[in-house]
Amino acid sequence: QVQLGESGGGLVQAGGSVRLSCAASGRTLFGYTMAWFRQAPGKEREFVAAIGWITANTYYSDSAKGRFTISRDNVKKLGYLQMNSLKPEDTAVYSCALRLGGYSDNDSSYEYWGQGTQVTVSS
């Protein structure tokens, strides 16, 4: 079993940066993929980025590429999402998620979810 908890969200001005963290507790994450999704009010949840826990292979949505960086610390069992050059349209609740297996951008394929952390980007 795995439990996830996000932190680091808050209010940031357009063009600013924020780093989100996802703490994982429980079993080893060998073989897992960690991903970040976001959901804005009135919109469907969308994929942001993913990373293979062991391989460190990364994947990004088109909107995230070049601005966001996903990473992880194997020892601390922490995942990170560094978000730079933020735009108001990045405003959303950001959630981390885990699945056993390889990369997927489909939220329904993820087994474990954190509670989410709010990121608000003001202009």
Collapsed DSSP state (helix, strand, coil) of residue 93: strand
CA distance 46 to 8: 19
The answer to whether the CB of 44 falls within 8 A of the CB of 32 is: no
If you search the block for the tokens 């933020």, which residue do you land on?
86
Work out the pLDDT band at 120, boundaries 50, 70, 90.
very high
Q: Of 14, 1, 15, 18, give the one whose Cα is nearest residue 117.
A: 18
- Decide if pLDDT at 1 tops 90: no
pLDDT band at 109 (very low <50, low <70, confident <90, very high): very high
Q: Which of 28 and 88 is assigned the larger pLDDT?
A: 88
| 74 — pLDDT class (breaks 50, 70, 90) | very high
Q: Quick one: average pLDDT of 43-67?
A: 97
Q: pLDDT band for position 71 (50/70/90)?
A: very high
Q: How far apart are CA 50 and CA 105, in angstroms?
A: 8
pLDDT band at 38 (very low <50, low <70, confident <90, very high): very high
Residues in CB range of 48: below 8 A, 6 or more apart: 35, 36, 37, 38, 60, 61, 63, 64, 68, 81, 94
| Whether the predicted pLDDT of 25 surpasses 90 | yes
What is the residue-averaged pLDDT of the chain? 96
